[in-house]
Amino acid sequence: MRRTVVAGRAMGEVLRSSMPINFLGAVDAARGTITDPAHDLHGRALRGTILAFPHGIGSSVGAYTVYALKANGVAPAAMVCARADASVVSGCAIAGIPLMLDGGLCEGVRDGQACTVDTAARTVVPA
């Protein structure tokens, strides 16, 4: 079942991870990249993507990192999480990044595929 947390519509390539993301400890907010060498998205750029990952973890300040990604122009176009955590939810709410909950993490579309997220229709479909 999909649920809308922050409403919006956005296009981007799907960037999917099977690992939770610690935004404070593992993301470079200036460059918009994952810096944790142990993460499966290590070195990958988040800018303009539809970032699909299980959920955020770690420090409550991660919310500021989500906001800073947007302020620095390197934020994902939208996020899709399997479950909600406060930092990602509030960070997206302040930054205006569409956020949808989806246990299947965009099942049916390929990694890297250009897609449109539409929270009103609760869909992620090829663009």
Partner 1 sequence: MDLTRDEEDALHGRRGEAMETAYRVLVATGEAMGAAALGGVSWAHLSGVNYNTIGDAGARFLADMAAAGARVRTRTTLNPMGYDSRADHGLPDEFVRGQEGIASSYGQMGVDLSFSCIPYEIFRESDLLPRAGGRVAFAESNAAIYANSVGGLRTNKESAFGALAAALSGKSPVAPPEDPGSVPTVRLRVDSASDLDYGLLGYFAGAAGSRTVNIEGAAEAMGHRSCKSLCAGMGTSGTCSRFSLGARAAGERIDFGREERDAALDSLSTAGSGDMIALGSPQLGAGELASLAAMVGGARFQKRCVVFCARASLEAAEASGDAAGLRRAGCELLADCCACLTPLVSADDVDSVTTSSVKAAYYLSRSNGVGVDLRPISEIVRGEAR
As annotated, the active-site residues are 59
CB 5 within 8 A of CB 94: no
Is 80 an interacting residue with respect to partner 1 (CB under 8 A)? no
Q: Binding residues for partner 1, how many (CB under 8 A)?
A: 40
105 burial via Cβ count (<10 Å: 0-12, 13-18, 19+): middle
Stretch that binds partner 1, among 44-52, 77-85, 103-111, 114-122 (CB under 8 A): 77-85
Say which DSSP state 42 is in: B
Whole-number Cα distances in Å, 110 to 42, 123, 125: 19, 14, 10
Q: Which is nearer to partner 1, 53 or 67 (CB)?
A: 67
Stretch that binds partner 1, among 16-24, 45-53, 103-111, 113-121 (CB under 8 A): 16-24
Question: Hey, which residues between 85 and 104 contact partner 1 (CB under 8 A)?
Answer: 85-87, 89-94, 99, 101
Contacts of 37 (CB under 8 A, 6+ apart): none
In whole angstroms, how close is the CB of 16 to partner 1 at the nearest point? 20
